Structure formats: C-alpha cells, structure tokens
C-alpha cells in the first residue's frame, strides 16, 4: 500500500503520484486515438489493436488501462457527453445573462450544431445501443448523460419560473402518463421541489421534437429527399419556442429580444 500524498518532488497538480499522472496521460492518449478512429472510420473502426499499433505498443498492453473494447466505448461516450455539455454551456455563456430568450435559442442551436459536426459521436450517444450485455458497466456514460440533460432542465426551469407559457389542461394527462412523468421528474432530480406533471409533459414534448429533427438529420434519414435540414430544424425550433413563450429569431440575428421585429 503506497501513500505518497504528502512528500512529492515539485509542485504537482491534484495530489497525484508520478505514476498516476503518466497513467492518466496514456489513458487520455488511448481515448484520444479511439475518438479519432471513431470519427474517421466509424464506430466499427475503433479497435484496440489499431490503437495499440498507433501508440507503439501491443493490444494486450491496453488491458492495463481499459477492461475491454466495450468499456473503452463507454468511457469515450462519457467524455463526449461532457464535451457536448461544455459546447452548449459555452454557447449559453456567450450571450448576455439577462437575454433569456436568446440564450435558449443559442443553446438549442449549439446542440444541433455539435450533433451535425460530430455525427459519429452523436450516433453512439443518442442512437441505438447494440445488444449490451447486462453486466457491462455503462454507469459513467449514463452519469455524463444525466449531467448533460441537467443543462436543459435548468433552462426550462427558468421559463417555468417566469411563467412564460400556460400549462396544458391537466385533463390531457392520462393517469398512466402522469405516473411516467412523475417518475421522470423524480429520477432526474429536478431542481424545483414540486414540479407539476404538466410541465414535465411540455418539456418531454419539446425535447421529442428537437431530438427527432436532429436524429433525422444526423442519421441521414432524409438525405435522399432533402439536401439541407437546417430549415426544417429552424421551423421546428420556431414552433417549439413559440409554444414555450420564447421569442424566435432567425439564426444570424443579433437583435436583442426586447426590440421586436416582424413575427
């Protein structure tokens, strides 16, 4: 049992022994190369042997760092969720705090922009999970996904607090749906203590629409029939935002929300 957390040579960041630092570094390199192979050759193009080859070592050596190819995929998936979250957060932070509407527009557009410019990554993160054996540890990716989702919960919470839109008639929420929505709200730990199920329904519905367009675009579902999917995304964004009481402005617009133009 080694415990070198006090005596160290020079100033090292975050109480890590030299060994731990170089270990961390190679793990980072592994993930970086895996990531590059993912975007260059698709999900099937990520192989331990190819990564090892590129690093100047042999495949079994990688097992000191990763428990297998599946775990590696899970690890980089978690990283990608964090990266997507950071991209959205950066977009959000790039506009003045008080301009809520523009912040929301910018954040949602950042989501799509990241998705279309990181198609392979998006496919792994939001696409089908190929038959995953039950004992696989997907916790890191799920946790990262939860963190990412929280970004949008926060934005939505603000709209809710500002009473931007009227909640739908509760008669439209069947008991079964209410049960699922409550489960949703509880499991993902909404910040608001007692959020009405109608609000969760609105959030779900909006998310379904945006998720739908982006998936259609990234998965190349309409490529035979449509060349550019941005207009359709903008159209969906328009109706979603309008329904949420958020002002819509076309992408290039720099006009602040308070100064109205034509709708």
Q: How far apart are CA 153 and CA 85, in angstroms?
A: 12
Residue 113 phi, psi dihedral angles, 5° rounding: -60, -45
Distance CA 194, CA 10 (A): 51
- Least distance in Å: CB of 3 to DNA? 6
Site stretch for DNA (CB under 7 A), options 51-59, 138-146, 196-204, 240-248:
51-59
Nearer to DNA, 74 or 206 (CB): 74
- Binding region for a second copy (CB under 8 A) out of 19-27, 38-46, 71-79, 151-159: 38-46
> Site mask, a second copy, residues 109-138, x = CB under 8 A?
----------xx-xx--xxxxxx-------
- Give the CA distances from residue 248 to residues 62, 168, 234, in Å, rounded to whole numbers and listed in that order: 49, 21, 9
Q: CB under 5 to 8 A by kind: which of DNA, a second copy, none does 221 bind? A: a second copy
Rg (CA), the chain: 22
Instruction: Decide: is 82 part of the binding site for DNA (CB under 7 A).
Output: no
Task: Show Cβ contacts of residue 52 under 8 Å, excluding neighbours closer than 6 positions.
Answer: 58, 59, 61, 62
> Among 69, 89, 149, 178, which residue interacts with DNA (rule: CB under 7 A)?
69
Residues 6+ apart with CB under 8 A from 129: none
Among 14, 44, 166, 259, binds a second copy (CB under 8 A): 44
């Amino acid at each position: 049992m080694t415990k070198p957390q006090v005596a160290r040579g020079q100033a090292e960041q975050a109480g890590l022994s030299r060994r731990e630092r170089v270990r961390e570094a190679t793990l980072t390199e592994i993930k970086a190369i895996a990531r590059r192979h993912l975007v260059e050759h698709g999900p099937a193009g990520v192989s331990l042997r190819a990564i090892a080859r590129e690093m100047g070592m042999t495949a079994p050596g990688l097992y000191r760092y990763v428990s297998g190819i599946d775990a590696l995929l899970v690890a980089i998936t978690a990283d990608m969720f964090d990266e997507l979250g950071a991209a959205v957060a950066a977009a959000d932070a790039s506009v003045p705090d008080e301009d809520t509407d523009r912040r929301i527009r910018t954040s949602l557009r950042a989501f799509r922009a990241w998705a279309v410019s990181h198609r392979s990554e998006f496919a792994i993160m939001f696409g089908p999970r190929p038959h995953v054996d039950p004992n696989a540890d997907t916790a890191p990716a799920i946790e990262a996904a939860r963190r990412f989702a929280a970004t949008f919960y926060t934005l939505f919470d603000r709209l809710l607090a500002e009473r931007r839109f009227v909640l739908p008639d509760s008669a439209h929420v069947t008991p079964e749906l209410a049960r699922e929505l409550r489960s949703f709200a509880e499991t993902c730990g909404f910040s608001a203590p007692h959020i009405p199920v109608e609000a969760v329904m609105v959030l779900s519905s909006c998310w379904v629409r945006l998720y739908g367009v982006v998936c259609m675009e990234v998965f190349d579902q309409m490529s035979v029939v449509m060349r550019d999917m941005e207009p359709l995304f903008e159209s969906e964004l328009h109706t979603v935002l309008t329904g949420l009481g958020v002002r819509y402005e076309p992408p290039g617009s720099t006009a602040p929300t308070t100064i109205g133009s034509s709708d």
